[in-house]
């Protein structure tokens, strides 16, 4: 049966329905609020006094109007009826300032996970903030995460509105960002079914093995291209299982779209001021300080193409009878056979989620692994010795070897604990009021889970800054870093797939190559300086390295 090809150029963003408000009023409120905010932040030395108010000729009339608007908004704040002060006790946190609250205290500007941990040490856990009246808490310990995110998952597993990412940038279709009322449960059920361990083992492992073999051959030919090869391989695996498309090189359009999506997520999710005060999304793009809006709007085209282009391509291939087996092709066939309840827009959402979510996290974990082996050569030698003993020198490691390996699984656990790819998890959101340890946590509170702090707690992990796989061996082994995959109802449904692909890549690299520190012009080894980005996925800066084939293994595998 021929399937119609539907070109989607402007997909729905599934924004939650809200009462219609006359747009000039919303614009005026946003503009006046922004001007007032700028004035207040300058008054309290949060921002330097701007040299010009707005980017247009300095008309006295305009300045008078803006001044009047600022006074009106200030009057609204000062004279509007106020609620009686609550007698309830909120969790401890830094004292706030007039109107802006804890805007200055909310960690920003790099290494936010360390700053949140330091605040928890100072005030207790969880830490409470209030920014322009909006409550926020950060969770920095396993005990609080277990009590709230795991034990009270129904209350703590929604998502905040996040207009910078969902409404402005257009990524509201991504399952990670969806709130309860945006079809989250139905979409998550499909993802969990398609990434069930039994399906991963039977259908996706052969794809991983094929792509990892190509990766090793590319690396043998271009050892200086390690990081690009890692990203290409993880992307190729995801594209093949999602859309049945074979990626051949870095110029593949699917890989280019994925890289653009990665760039769009460089800023910390939920960190933009507009995500705390949503009406700021209505300020014009030319206004000073509106860079967040210009950045977000520049990503809308990519957000639309990520869903529409691969989807239309696979529908065309199904109509031609040339489509390879994939997740999206199976979902489309279910729709047209009447076996599924999903719509075509649902399938586009799910395809985009598979496409954009898995590759970047796995690639980042493998790059962190390269750094760890460079800094801890004894760990690398011990892992290679185990592979030589279990796998031998005549073949590559496979999934069947995993049950006979004891040290490699500990290396993987320590890798995820040492440098979690998402040190601050995507923010949660409370749906109802809650009481915890005598503290009141209001409904509609944004919750920031600090995975890095939990996995670097000195009371749980000895010498947490060091890479020590042995911490997971023996009777006194330390806690499993399972929180790296999320919490409660928001735990990552693709964790089994990610674990398999990470194992095969790490074991294969260790078996065929040795990673060591780079050398300077004098031939002396040095330790490169590395920093990590503040995006939802924390990506390390690229660093120099030395990669050499293991002469005792590689020739017998036919690579040299």
Question: What token pair was written down for 143?
Answer: 């005990």
Backbone angles phi, psi at 223, to 5 degrees: -65, -15
On the CB side of 384, CA atoms within 13 Å amount to 20
Would you call 69 exposed, middle or buried from its count of C-beta atoms within 10 A (0-12, 13-18, 19+)?
Answer: middle
Measured CA distances, 94 to 130, 136, 407 (Å): 9, 12, 44
Q: How far apart are CA 496 and CA 200, in angstroms?
A: 7
Cβ count near 541 (within 10 Å): 11
What are the start-end ranges of the H helices in 195-326?
A: 197-199, 205-221, 226-243, 253-264, 273-276, 291-297, 300-320
Of the candidates 122, 97, 117, 98, the residue with the CA atom closest to the CA atom of residue 107: 117
Name the strand (E) or helix (H) holding 372: helix 344-375
Of the candidates 550, 546, 553, the residue with the CA atom closest to the CA atom of residue 520: 546
Reduce the DSSP state of residue 519 to 3 states and report it.
strand
Tell me if 163 sits within 8 A of 274, measured CB to CB. yes
Reduce the DSSP state of residue 95 to 3 states and report it.
coil
Cβ count near 482 (within 10 Å): 14
Of the candidates 91, 352, 359, 138, the residue with the CA atom closest to the CA atom of residue 243: 352
Reduce the DSSP state of residue 64 to 3 states and report it.
helix
Backbone angles phi, psi at 29, to 5 degrees: -60, -45
Question: Angle formed by the axes of helices 205-221 and 495-512, to 10°?
Answer: 30
Q: How far apart are CA 101 and CA 133, in angstroms?
A: 7
Length of the chain in terms of residues written:
560
Of the candidates 462, 481, 282, 258, the residue with the CA atom closest to the CA atom of residue 363: 258
Is 410 known to sit in a ligand binding site? Answer: no
Q: How far apart are CA 12 and CA 479, in angstroms?
A: 43
Q: How far apart are CA 508 and CA 231, in angstroms?
A: 16
Q: How far apart are CA 27 and CA 31, in angstroms?
A: 6
Q: How far apart are CA 258 and CA 314, in angstroms?
A: 17
**Number of helical H runs and strand E runs in the chain:** 19, 8
Name the strand (E) or helix (H) holding 373: helix 344-375
Annotated binding-site members for heme: 492
Write out the binding residues. Answer: 492
């Amino acid at each position: 049966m021929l399937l119609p090809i539907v070109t989607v150029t402007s997909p729905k963003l599934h924004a939650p329905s809200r009462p219609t408000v006359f747009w000039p009023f919303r614009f005026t409120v946003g503009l006046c609020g922004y001007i007032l905010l700028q004035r207040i932040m300058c008054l309290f030395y949060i921002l330097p006094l701007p040299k010009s108010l707005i980017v247009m000729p300095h008309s006295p009339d305009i300045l008078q109007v803006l001044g009047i608007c600022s006074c009106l908004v200030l009057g609204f704040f000062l004279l509007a009826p106020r609620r009686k002060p609550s007698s309830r006790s909120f969790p401890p946190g830094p004292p706030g300032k007039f109107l802006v609250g804890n805007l200055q205290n909310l960690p920003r500007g790099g290494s936010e996970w360390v700053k949140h941990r330091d605040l928890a040490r100072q005030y207790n856990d969880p830490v409470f903030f209030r920014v322009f009246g909006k409550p926020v808490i950060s969770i920095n310990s396993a005990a609080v995460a277990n009590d709230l995110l795991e034990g009270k998952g129904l209350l703590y597993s929604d998502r905040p509105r996040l207009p910078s990412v969902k409404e402005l940038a257009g990524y509201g279709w991504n399952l990670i960002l969806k709130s309860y009322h945006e079809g989250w449960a139905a979409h998550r059920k499909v993802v969990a079914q398609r990434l069930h361990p039994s399906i991963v083992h039977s259908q996706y492992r052969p794809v991983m093995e094929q792509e990892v073999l190509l990766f090793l051959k590319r690396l043998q030919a271009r050892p200086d291209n390690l990081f690009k090869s890692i990203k290409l391989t993880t992307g190729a695996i995801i594209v093949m299982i999602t859309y049945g498309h074979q990626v051949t090189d870095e110029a593949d359009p699917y890989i280019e779209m994925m890289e653009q999506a990665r760039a769009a997520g460089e800023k910390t999710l939920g960190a933009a001021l507009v995500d705390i005060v949503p009406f700021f999304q209505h300020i014009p793009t030319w206004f000073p300080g509106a860079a967040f809006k210009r950045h977000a709007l520049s990503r809308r085209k990519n957000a639309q193409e990520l869903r529409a282009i691969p989807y239309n391509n696979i529908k065309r291939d199904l109509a031609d009878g040339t489509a390879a087996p994939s997740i999206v092709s199976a979902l489309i066939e279910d729709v047209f056979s009447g076996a599924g309840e999903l719509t075509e827009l649902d399938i586009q959402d799910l395809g985009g989620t598979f496409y954009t979510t898995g590759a970047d996290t796995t690639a980042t974990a493998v790059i962190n692994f390269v750094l760890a082996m460079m800094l801890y050569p004894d760990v690398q030698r011990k892992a290679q010795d185990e592979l030589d003993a279990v796998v031998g020198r005549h073949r590559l490691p496979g999934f069947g070897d995993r049950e006979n390996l004891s040290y490699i699984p500990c290396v993987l656990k320590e890798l995820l604990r040492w440098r979690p790819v998402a040190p601050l998890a995507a923010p949660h959101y409370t749906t109802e009021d809650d009481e915890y340890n005598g503290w009141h946590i209001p409904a509609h509170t944004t919750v920031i889970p600090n995975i890095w702090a939990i996995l670097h707690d000195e009371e749980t992990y000895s010498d947490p800054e060091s890479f020590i796989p042995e911490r997971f061996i023996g009777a006194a082994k330390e806690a499993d870093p399972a929180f790296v995959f999320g919490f409660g109802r928001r735990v990552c449904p693709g964790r089994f797939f990610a674990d398999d692909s990470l194992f095969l890549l790490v074991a294969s690299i260790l078996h065929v190559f040795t990673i060591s520190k780079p050398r300077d012009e004098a031939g002396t080894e040095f330790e490169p300086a590395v920093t990590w980005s503040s995006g939802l996925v924390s990506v390390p800066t690229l660093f120099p390295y030395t990669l050499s084939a293991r002469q005792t293994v590689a020739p017998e595998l036919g690579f040299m």
